[in-house]
């Protein structure tokens, strides 16, 4: 099983997590927290892989890399 790589970053200005992936054409989504983002990715990633004619082997292995700049309190 080849893992699907998804990168998430915190958009400070918008106040949301944004996800994109070089492995999933057309993936661009956002959510207020990482749990919400994962819920969206569970639906969107398989749908987009299928729509783009890419192999879809279930269960998918999703590698989520999340980045957020931290500033001292």
Q: Specify the pLDDT at position 9.
A: 97
Task: Supply the range of the domain harboring residue 18.
Answer: 4-67
Asked, for residue 73, whether it belongs to a domain, the answer is no
Structural domain count of the chain: 1
pLDDT tens digits for range 31-40: 999 999 999 9
The CATH number for 34's domain is 3.30.2390.10
18-55 pLDDT, tens digit per residue, is 999 999 999 999 999 999 999 999 999 999 999 999 88
Choose among 5, 47, 10: nearest CA to 26.
Answer: 47
Q: Enter the pTM of the model.
A: 0.87
Average pLDDT, stretch 12-16?
A: 95
């Amino acid at each position: 099983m080849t893992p699907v790589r998804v990168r998430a970053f915190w958009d400070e200005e918008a106040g949301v997590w944004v996800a994109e992936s070089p492995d999933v054409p057309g993936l661009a989504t956002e959510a207020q927290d990482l749990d919400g983002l994962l819920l969206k990715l569970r639906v969107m990633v398989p749908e987009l892989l299928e729509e783009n004619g890419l192999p879809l082997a279930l269960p998918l292995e999703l590698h989520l890399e999340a980045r957020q700049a931290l500033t001292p309190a």
